[in-house]
């Protein structure tokens, strides 16, 4: 079966391409290389021994999207990662985010809606919950007003898919709301490659471990958590990639209970920033310099998943630990900077 992976050279996308190819799917990657590197393709080929078809394309071009689906009429599914994802940048440039994250989604769904049957997996996020009233967070938790345009694009993206599925019953879709993806492939051929100063905790930690950054800033130690630092659910990117393939297979096998479903993808365990630092120090054998600074606007106190629904209905469960994830992220950082 031919599956399109948009943003397939990005962090989560590239790991998902690997898992798809390992399961025998034919993969077509669409990526505009705005936040990724063509070298990632070499890493995918080294791991799987197969070269996916790669098309450099900007999905904001509606005509090009139409032409692609005309040419590839045999596409049976799309896993949609292509989106801008930096919270701070979205606040500064909301229109870029709305165009890039929502316009492209609409164009793809318009094309899939013309097909007799199509399968669609959407890269959503736990940001849709904001600061949840109860922990762990279940799929039935209320979606709070978004803290940023980025978060809003995930909420509205889900609404667009849900509304489309109501009238286009031939479209089968699953939105995966995932928590904090971290780590790298065990082969160390692909991993997280942030451009410029990392927006996420783990690459900042590994870059600090390499001496690229003087020290890590810990934003706030006065939260109502076990050690005062913010708590998140860190999921190994390989576990997350596998969840996408399992979700896609659920749709192909017609195991879905409705043509639009939502699943949380996380470990079910919350880890504080200080716990993450300790885990890194354990697996790397390095002392990590850090300083406590003020809280960041928009940061929630704690967020971790209730994964019961994904465990039972998808038959998926996170297998790798925080130590596993940090060990792989550290190996990847050493390779990239070596």
Q: Are 20 and 52 part of one and the same domain?
A: yes
Q: Are 32 and 138 part of one and the same domain?
A: yes
Q: Are 210 and 285 part of one and the same domain?
A: yes
164, 170, 314: which is closest to 249 by C-alpha? 314
By CB neighbour count within 10 A (0-12 exposed, 13-18 middle, 19+ buried), where does 173 fall? buried
The domain that holds 149 is classified in CATH as 3.40.50.720
Residue range of the domain that includes 48: 2-182+234-265
Q: Which two tokens stand for residue 166?
A: 């109501």
In a domain, 82, yes or no: yes
Q: Are 169 and 24 part of one and the same domain?
A: yes
- The DSSP-derived string for 84-153 is ---HHHHHH-HHHHHIIIIIHHHHHHHHHTTSSSEEEEEEEEGGGG-S-SSSSBPTTSPPPPPSSHHHHH
In a domain, 328, yes or no: yes
The one catalytic residue in 107, 150, 223, 304 is 150
CA of 146: how far to CAs of 1, 81, 94, 155, in Å? 37, 20, 13, 8
pLDDT tens digits, 41-97 = 999 999 999 999 999 999 999 999 999 999 999 999 999 999 999 888 999 999 999
Q: Given a cut of 90, is residue 215 above it in pLDDT?
A: yes
In a domain, 337, yes or no: no
Active-site annotation holds for 178? no
When pLDDT is cut at 50, 70 and 90, the band that residue 288 belongs to is very high
Q: Are 166 and 310 part of one and the same domain?
A: no
In degrees and rounded to multiples of 5, residue 127 shows phi and psi of -60, -20
In a domain, 239, yes or no: yes
In a domain, 189, yes or no: no
107 touches 100 (CB < 8 A) = no
What confidence score (pLDDT) does residue 102 get? Answer: 98
- Number of domains the chain contains: 2
3-class DSSP state for residue 290? strand
Q: Are 278 and 175 part of one and the same domain?
A: no
pLDDT tens digits, 144-182 = 999 899 999 999 999 999 999 999 999 999 999 999 999
Q: Given a cut of 80, is residue 298 above it in pLDDT?
A: no
Whole-angstrom Cα distance, residue 288 to residue 216? Answer: 8
Q: Are 135 and 241 part of one and the same domain?
A: yes
């Amino acid at each position: 079966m031919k599956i399109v992976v948009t943003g397939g050279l990005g962090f989560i996308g590239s790991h998902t391409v690997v898992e798809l190819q390992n399961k025998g799917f034919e993969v077509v990657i669409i990526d505009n290389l705005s936040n990724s590197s063509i070298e990632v393709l070499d890493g995918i080929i080294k791991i799987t021994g197969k070269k996916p078809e790669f098309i450099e394309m900007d999905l904001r071009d509606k005509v090009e999207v139409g032409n692609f689906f005309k040419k590839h009429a045999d596409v049976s599914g799309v896993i949609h990662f292509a989106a801008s994802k930096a919270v701070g940048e979205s606040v500064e440039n909301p229109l870029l985010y709305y165009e890039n994250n929502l316009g492209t989604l609409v164009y793809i769904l318009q094309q899939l809606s013309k097909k007799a049957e199509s399968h669609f997996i959407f890269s959503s996020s736990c940001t849709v919950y904001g600061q949840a009233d109860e922990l762990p967070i279940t799929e039935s938790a209320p979606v709070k007003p978004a803290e940023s345009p980025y978060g809003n694009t995930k909420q509205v993206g889900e609404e667009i898919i849900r509304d489309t599925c109501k009238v286009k019953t031939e479209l089968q879709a699953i939105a995966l709301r995932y928590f904090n993806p971290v780590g790298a492939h065990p082969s160390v051929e692909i991993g997280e490659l942030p451009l410029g100063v990392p927006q996420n905790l783990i690459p900042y930690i590994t870059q600090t471990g390499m001496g690229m950054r003087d020290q890590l800033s810990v934003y706030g130690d006065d939260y109502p958590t076990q050690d005062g630092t913010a708590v998140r659910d860190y999921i190994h990117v390989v576990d997350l990639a596998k969840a996408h393939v399992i979700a896609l297979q659920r749709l192909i096998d017609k195991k879905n209970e409705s043509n639009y479903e939502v699943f949380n993808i996380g470990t079910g365990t919350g880890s504080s920033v200080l716990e993450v630092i300790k885990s890194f120090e354990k697996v790397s054998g390095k002392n990590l310099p850090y300083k406590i600074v003020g809280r960041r606007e928009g940061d929630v106190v704690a967020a971790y998943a209730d994964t019961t629904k994904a465990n039972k209905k998808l038959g998926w469960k996170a297998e790798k630990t925080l130590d596993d994830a940090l060990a792989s992220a550290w190996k990847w950082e050493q390779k990239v900077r070596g």
